[in-house]
């Protein structure tokens, strides 16, 4: 999994030297915020997908928790690009992380508690394996998402992923590829690490961004592409049974990309194969990287261009 370099606090360091101390605040109290980004091998060369949007979300997540990043968004964008060049990668999954560092314990960080910033680039394939193409078998989790007045879901913080781990572990134990959680109000929210889309009678439906979900960048991409294809789209509250009566379901995320769902709680979605709208949106999405979909939104950030 290792790559030659990791960007750590302003320097490119060999993989084995990018380490932290066991007193690191984030290890004890979950005080990290991070991003997951992809570099695609595109028709224009290696390119980040929506890099600026990811970096902006990283800064917003840090703001929620009053973590001072100490670099500008532009500096982080440049560092991301430089890392891919230094590692000579054609495609990658990139993980910028900002966390309260080593400097004594205590839930409230001490005045001088340092903040570490690191960016790692990994060689990662499809997150949900074969399911990416043929469809994932998912379950509805017995774990709910945290209520909005407990842990904010728009901030992509390390601590949020304890909930995701419970959802994912339960799903795996039951033989499923992924778990979907209900929100505090019993309505649909999202997968352990993906946003959720349903198709019902030709209409694309997704829980609103206030449903205790991460406001996913792939979710926004799919909403934009769907509007562009002239599909009818609605962001609205959906009950659990919407999963059992949907014609199509798919999940979105930087890691998961656009993954069809084949069954929920062992009940087939449609005929158990990816439906036409899922296929059209997958084609539009992956078309961004081979040029079949024109990048009218300037979402690609070509690594060689800077
Ligand atoms: N929800 C959760 C909980 C996630 O971890 C992710 C992955 N970052 C997503 C949704 C999808 O977000 P994005 O499309 O920005 O990767």
Ranges in the chain, pLDDT < 50: 306
Strand partners, 251: 196, 259
CA-based nearest residue to 178, from 133, 218, 140: 140
Q: How many Cβ atoms sit within 10 Å of the Cβ of residue 137?
A: 21
pLDDT of residue 305: 57
Question: Which conformational region is residue 224 in: left (phi greater than 0), alpha (psi within -120 to 50 degrees), or beta?
Answer: alpha
Q: Which of 34, 35, 36 to mutate to test the pocket of ligand 1 (most atoms within 8 A of CB)?
A: 36
Indicate the pairing of strand 232-235 with strand 203-206: parallel
Tell me the C-alpha distance between 83 and 306, whole Å.
13
pLDDT of residue 131: 79
The domain 131-290 having CATH identifier 3.40.50.720: the answer here is: no
Could you tell me if the ipTM is greater than 0.90? yes
What are the extents of the domains in the chain? 5-122, 131-290
Q: Distance between CA atoms of 295 and 23, rounded to whole angstroms?
A: 45
Please give the DSSP secondary-structure letter assigned to residue 8: E
Distance CA 42, CA 293 (A): 12
pLDDT value at position 109?
Answer: 78
Catalytic residue IDs: 156
pLDDT in tens, 225-245: 999 999 999 999 999 999 999
CA-CA distance, 27 to 224, in Å (whole number)?
37
CATH of 5-122, one of 3.30.450.40, 3.40.50.620, 3.40.50.880, 3.30.470.10: 3.30.470.10
Instruction: Indicate yes or no: pTM above 0.90.
Output: yes
Q: Whose CA is nearest to atom 12 of ligand 1?
A: 216
DSSP letter (8 states) at residue 62: H
Of all atoms in ligand 1, which is nearest to the CA of residue 35?
A: 8
């Amino acid at each position: 999994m290792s790559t030659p370099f990791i960007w750590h606090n302003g320097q490119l360091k060999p993989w084995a030297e990018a380490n932290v101390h066991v007193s690191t605040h984030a290890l004890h109290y979950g005080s990290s915020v991070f991003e997951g980004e992809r570099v695609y091998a595109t028709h224009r060369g290696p390119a980040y997908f929506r890099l600026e949007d990811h970096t902006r979300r990283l800064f917003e997540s840090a703001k929620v928790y009053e973590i001072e990043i100490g670099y500008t968004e532009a500096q982080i964008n440049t560092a991301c690009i430089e890392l891919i060049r230094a590692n000579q990668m054609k495609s990658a999954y990139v993980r910028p992380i900002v966390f309260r560092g080593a400097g004594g314990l205590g839930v409230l960080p001490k005045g001088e508690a340092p903040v570490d910033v690191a960016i790692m680039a990994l060689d990662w394939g499809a997150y949900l394996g074969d399911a990416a193409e043929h469809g994932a078998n998912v379950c509805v989790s017995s774990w709910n998402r945290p209520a909005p007045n407990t842990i904010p879901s728009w901030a992509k913080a390390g601590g949020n992923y304890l909930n995701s781990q419970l959802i994912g572990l339960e799903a795996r134990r039951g033989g499923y590829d992924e778990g979907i959680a209900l929100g505090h109000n019993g309505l649909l929210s999202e997968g352990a690490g993906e946003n959720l889309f349903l198709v019902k009678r030709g209409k694309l439906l997704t829980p609103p961004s206030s449903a205790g979900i991460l406001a996913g960048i792939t979710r926004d991409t799919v909403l934009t592409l769907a509007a562009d294809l002239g599909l009818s789209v609605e962001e609205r509250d959906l009950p659990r049974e919407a999963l059992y009566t949907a014609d199509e379901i798919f999940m979105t995320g930087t890691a998961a990309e656009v993954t069809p769902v084949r069954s929920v709680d062992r009940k087939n979605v449609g005929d158990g194969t990816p439906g036409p709208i899922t296929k059209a949106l997958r084609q539009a999405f992956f078309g961004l990287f081979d040029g079949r979909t024109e990048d009218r939104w300037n979402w690609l950030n070509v690594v060689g261009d800077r």
